[in-house]
Amino acid sequence: MRGLALWLILTVLPLAATAQMAATLVADRVDVTADSRLIATGGVEALYQGTRLRAERITYDRTTDKLTIEGPILITDPDGQILTAESARLDPQFETGLLLGARLVLDQQLQLAANRIDRVDGRFSQLSQTAVTSCAVCGGRAPLWSIRADRVLLDDAEEMLYLERVRFRVKDVPIAYLPSLRLPTPSNGRATGLLTPRFTTSDLLGPGLRLPYFITIGPSRDLTLTPFISRETRTLEARYRQAFGRGGIDIQTAVTQDDLRGGPDLRGFTTATGTFRVAEDYDLSFDLQYASDDAYLSDYNISDTDRLASVIALTRVDEDSVFSISGSNYSSLRENEVTSSLPPVVLTGGVLRQFERLGGTLTLAASGDTLLRYADDRDDFERDQGRLGASAYYSTRRVTDAGLSASMTVGVRADAFRIENEMGGPDTSLGRIAPSARAVLRYPLARISSGSRNLIEPVLAISYSEAFGETPPNEDSLRQEFDEGNLTTLTQLPGEDAVQTGGRAALGITWTRTGGEGVTSALTFGRVFQQEVQQDFTRSSGLDHARSDWLVAAQLELPRGLTFDGRALIDDEGETSLSTARVYWDRPEVQLAAAYIFQRADPRIDRPEDISEYSFDGAVRVSPAWDVSFDARYDLGQDAAVEAGLGVGWTNECVNLALSVSRRFASSTTLQPSTDYGLSVELLGFSARSDGVRSQARCDS
């Protein structure tokens, strides 16, 4: 019947064909009157450029080119907007007209119910006596929150809502009034206006309010200003972002006036990060950090960092070469550390190139670094040091028919050092040449049975290196890590200043199992035997004896997102100098992590006491509406908590509520124990950042 009516409209009735040029009309019955009106009744549908209208009756008047529609009316457009009404008078393109008793739904989130909607030029919708909410509306019950406005203007082009004479209601109880209000629609990703405010209170700052205001500055720039007002402080935070064709920058800063240090002080911090492609394959990056004093970042709960590092670097990386040059500045926030002794200024540069030659790989490299200490802030340790070096290494690898893998590396490294201002002594220049050789034998043994794969790989690495010339001060190899990653490397020293001399043999064995049930595990044992005891190795490194501590490392991955890894250094008497363990559980509804670390006291690296600490954190979705997050650190050596935090979140289709509390227990001359509370309430439906409805209220029948 509908197809017959449509055929009649298109082929038999010329006056109806005029209307069909604008919109396609389908109905159970179509009548044409003598006064040039087309009347469609019974399950009427009209379609124009992706917009679909459904109604009980549509009358098209050819003389006025208008559609009169009787409801109930349902209009949907390609952008996901839904409009219902009792009656309407529109043009055939649905761009201009009047709707009575209408309800508009934007992006299936935000509902606007109005006595009348005037549609103009396909861009503007003016709503009169409007109720706005993203909450479920059930019968005569009031939604959780709503906004009432005498007039609302919806601008489809700018994706903005403009409201006049606004009353905000909670459960239909008026709690606030504004003469005007501007809000983005759910599809608007960037719009100038207020962001979600956050209420906070802490022992140091008292109760306060953060009120961020987002400002768009064209399509590629924006600025967020956040005034923070509390009993003890007046703070203005700012964040500026800009995207360029070859990179982008992000600058965050804050300026504060408070009384936390005994008088009105001007304090603050600044960070700036950015990355740019300055030429083909060359990237310029920077990360700059500044704080006015040692305690500012902690007082305002910005960061727990205890050293500020500002770095500018130019790098180029491709498949067979690496180039890098960088400059760094370090500033200490630690209680008993002097910035001038770090050293604060570090300049580094280097280039590396690989060539395939004679069945092996030739690696050529050149590098340099300079360490500078401030001339006007020196303590007893005031040395400046520079180094220039070059190296050449040749490596080759063969695998026998029996499966034995043998690799050989030989090479030489030459360095020149310049040392100035050392304890008031004369400036000196040093030179050193360090040849080295290493052979590594591996014999992997594999077995597959019952759906699992077992791989046992014993390894033997024999190395020798020597240093000819003068020995410079060791600036970059003061702290060593002994793990499965450097068990068989040429040296376990991390830097360039020190050379691991003499002969060495590293023995290790790794067992890896991959099960058909999704379980993967690995276990590694290893040890290093040294001909000469290296004075640069610290006690806690496990490498300060001719026979190193035993290295034991394990990893385990289980189905359903559970992962474990651990590492320990154990001497011949069974004492542990280092042990770490971590466990993760990552599921859509649960994310948990726990860690433990023990490090033996080592005065050479400013660790006067043993460190024994565990920590854990996690987030659990208790229900579709409720989230719980937590974190804690506990110092077993001091038998005292370090910090703890708890957060609770509740989200439904129209509200996101977050409550948090955190406690810092540690204290020093710059840090004080404090407790912080936070509360934020976000009304959903006005932001494109929404993660979607997680808990939708249901209306009882």
pLDDT in tens, 51-108: 888 888 888 888 877 878 887 888 888 877 888 888 888 777 667 778 888 888 887 7
Q: How far apart are the first and last CA of the chain?
A: 36
pLDDT-derived band at 23, boundaries 50, 70, 90: low
Question: Residue 694: is its pLDDT beyond 60?
Answer: no
Quick one: pLDDT at residue 6? 36
| C-alpha count within 13 angstroms, C-beta hemisphere, residue 428 | 12
Taking only the tens place, the pLDDT of each residue in 620-679 is 999 989 999 999 999 988 888 888 999 999 998 889 999 999 988 876 656 678 888 999
Taking only the tens place, the pLDDT of each residue in 604-634 is 888 888 899 999 999 999 998 999 999 999 9
Quick one: pLDDT at residue 93? 66
Q: Hey, what amino acid is at 336?
A: N
What single DSSP character describes residue 300? Answer: T
pLDDT-derived band at 499, boundaries 50, 70, 90: very high
Quick one: pLDDT at residue 158? 85
- Residue in the block written with tokens 């040296």: 491
Taking only the tens place, the pLDDT of each residue in 522-568 is 999 999 999 988 888 998 899 999 999 999 999 999 988 899 999 99
pLDDT-derived band at 11, boundaries 50, 70, 90: very low
CA distances from 169 to 178, 317, 376, 686 (A): 12, 58, 62, 16
Quick one: pLDDT at residue 341? 77
Residue 243, SS3 per DSSP: strand
**Residue 9: its H or E element:** helix 2-11
Output phi, psi for 543, to 5 deg.
Answer: -120, 15
CA distances from 225 to 160, 236, 238, 414 (A): 21, 7, 5, 53
Please write down the long-range contacts of 180-183, taking CB distance under 8 Å and 24 or more positions apart: 181/147, 181/149, 183/686
CA gap 647, 259 in Å, rounded? 29
Taking only the tens place, the pLDDT of each residue in 191-249 is 888 888 889 888 888 898 999 999 999 889 999 999 998 888 899 999 999 999 999 99
Q: Hey, what amino acid is at 85?
A: A
Question: Residue 30: is its pLDDT beyond 90?
Answer: no
Q: Domain coordinates of the chain in residue numbers?
A: 2-156, 383-605, 626-634+641-701
Please give, one letter per residue, the 3-state secondary structure of 424-476: CCCCEEEEEEEEEEEEEEECCEEEEECCEEEEEEEEEEEEEECCEECCCCCCC
Question: Residue 16: is its pLDDT beyond 70?
Answer: no
Question: Residue 378: is its pLDDT beyond 60?
Answer: no
Task: Tell me the β-bridge partners of 208.
Answer: 200, 230
Number of residues in the chain: 701
Nearest to 109 by CA among 662, 524, 655: 655
**Residue 153: its H or E element:** strand 145-155
Quick one: pLDDT at residue 2? 38
Please answer whether residues 264 and 252 qualify as being in contact, where contact means their C-beta atoms are separated by less than 8 angstroms: no
Question: Residue 20: is its pLDDT beyond 70?
Answer: no
- The pTM is what? 0.80
Question: Residue 576: is its pLDDT beyond 50?
Answer: yes
Quick one: pLDDT at residue 373? 84
Topology of the domain comprising 2-156: lipopolysaccharide transport protein A fold (2.60.450)
* The dihedral formed by the CA atoms of 432, 434, 435 and 438, expressed in degrees to the nearest 10: -170
Average pLDDT of every residue of the chain: 86
Quick one: pLDDT at residue 164? 93
CA gap 455, 619 in Å, rounded? 36
Question: Residue 698: is its pLDDT beyond 70?
Answer: no
Quick one: pLDDT at residue 491? 92
Peptide bond into 343 cis (omega under 30): yes
- Pick the residue with more confidence: 261 or 404? 404
Please write down the long-range contacts of 237-246, taking CB distance under 8 Å and 24 or more positions apart: 237/210, 237/212, 244/220, 244/276, 246/276, 246/277, 246/278
Cβ contacts of residue 294 below 8 Å, gap of 6+? 333, 334, 335, 670
What single DSSP character describes residue 547? Answer: B
Per DSSP, the chain holds a count of helices (H) and strands (E) of: 3, 42
Please answer whether residues 281 and 288 qualify as being in contact, where contact means their C-beta atoms are separated by less than 8 angstroms: no
- Residue in the block written with tokens 């806690």: 540
Cβ contacts of residue 226 below 8 Å, gap of 6+? 210, 211, 212, 213, 236, 237, 238, 239
Question: Residue 687: is its pLDDT beyond 70?
Answer: no
Q: Can you tell me the mean pLDDT for 420-429?
A: 79
Taking only the tens place, the pLDDT of each residue in 462-493 is 999 999 999 998 888 888 889 998 999 999 99
Quick one: pLDDT at residue 289? 95
Question: Residue 324: is its pLDDT beyond 80?
Answer: yes
Give the DSSP per-residue string, 537-596.
Answer: --GGGT-SSSBPPEEEEEEEEEGGGEEEEEEEEE-TTS-EEEEEEEEEEE-SSEEEEEEE
Residue 508, SS3 per DSSP: strand
Question: Residue 259: is its pLDDT beyond 90?
Answer: no
